[in-house]
Amino acid sequence: MTGAPPSPPAAPILGLLARLGGPHRRGRQFGSQGWPRPLEPALPEAQLPSLRARLAPVLARLNTDRQAWVARTERELRLAASLAALAGLALGWSMGGLPLGLALMLGGAAFALLLLTGRAQGSLRAATKQGIIGTLAPDLTGLASVSPEARAALYTPERLEAWHLARPVHSVTVDECLTGERAGYHVRVARIGLYTGNENNREAEVGGGLCLVAVELVADGTHDGTPTFVIPTDAARALRAPPLSPRPPQMATGDADFDARYQVLGNPAPLGAQARAAFAALEAVTRADPTCTREVPPGTGLRPFVILRPGQVTVLTPLALFDGAFEPPPPWQSLDADTLIPRFAADLLAMDQHLTAALALTKGLSR
């Protein structure tokens, strides 16, 4: 971006709330501590100037919108805190005199500030991310970024039933979704978080959170037929089959090494030697430790869960929480291309690696 970014707007209330809540945490989902992962894969330096030029007008517009949001939110917070403080003072005075009134005044003001701030930042965060990713994704991956509203409709708990997870899916969070065409397939790659529920799917299960990179490849034509599930023997709990799971029976591929690492439920015929060898590419991009709470070096994490249907491949790779690189700074900080492009590009390129690995699998599948 040419020139220095605009000076951040004054945000005494928002800044105070941020200090009270600790440092700004990125990607805080499912217990994440918010420390962004290393910027891998790195963006080639030669691509930075063109991306900077393309992103400059987008960041200028977003910075203007964010400044207006901060000014408006500061006014709303001051008004809400004042009204809540007066209401708390009046209620406390009538119930127990000045000490209780002062306590309720402070409590009411603090509650109003926290409630309104949390509600307000969500939409701004989504708009900022969509503006940046929507600009960078086509150049870096050849794919388009799906809007927050549309991607939420793509990954509903009802639709995820087709994945035959071990527990009912209670709720889904879609952090990002890219879609397009590649190698003759309609492709979609998303970073999602889900909570599994109890048997009645009414309550989120304690410890039932799971984050995934989901790659879906669909070829033109029919997709009917019984699916084949390829489940790693060290799969996360939410991907293991329960006793009453409607999955097909387990079958051996005849490859002792592969059968020691994966369970094949259904017809193993598509998993010829080339397909089994292609799982090495899928394993090379794994990053989650067995607890799905800590990132490990690429290629040493939990192996992917694969669903094969005629003309359709789905690859689910566990993540160590949401690592948070796909995050803009707090709204009172200006957006700067030189800071944001390497971070967002690293995440886009990492998602593209998952897609490339899944496409390598399709080339080896026996027809």
Other beta carbons within 10 Å of 367: 6
Closest CA to 282 of 218, 346, 354: 354
Tokens 């899928």 sit on residue: 282
Alpha carbon of 34 to those of 21, 27, 324, 338: distances in Å? Answer: 13, 6, 6, 21
Name the least confident of 95-99, 195-199, 354-358. 95-99
The pLDDT tens digits for 66-121 are 888 878 777 766 766 666 666 655 666 567 666 655 555 556 556 555 655 555 56
Average pLDDT over residues 320-334: 73
pLDDT at 199: 60
pLDDT at 288: 86
Select the more confidently predicted residue: 125 or 12: 125
pLDDT at 17: 61
Average pLDDT, the chain: 80
Look up residue 163 and give its DSSP letter: G
Binned at pLDDT 50, 70 and 90, residue 137 comes out as very high
Q: 307 and 239 in contact (C-beta within 8 Å)? A: no
Return the half-sphere exposure (C-beta side, CA atoms, 13 A cut-off) of residue 85: 11
pTM of the model: 0.83
Name the least confident of 142-146, 184-188, 218-222, 324-328. 324-328
pLDDT at 238: 67
How far is it, in rounded angstroms, from Cα 200 to Cα 19? 41
Binned at pLDDT 50, 70 and 90, residue 133 comes out as very high
Look up residue 288 and give its DSSP letter: B
Question: Residue 110 corresponds to which tokens in the numbers above?
Answer: 């603090």
Whether the ω angle into residue 41 lies within 30 degrees of 0, i.e. cis, is yes
The pLDDT tens digits for 40-74 are 788 888 899 999 999 999 999 999 988 888 787 77
pLDDT at 270: 92
Alpha carbon of 202 to those of 98, 197, 210: distances in Å? Answer: 45, 6, 17
Closest CA to 178 of 215, 211, 153: 215
pLDDT at 87: 65
Using DSSP's 3-state secondary structure scheme, residue 284 falls into coil
Q: What percent of the chain has pLDDT over 90?
A: 38
pLDDT at 190: 95
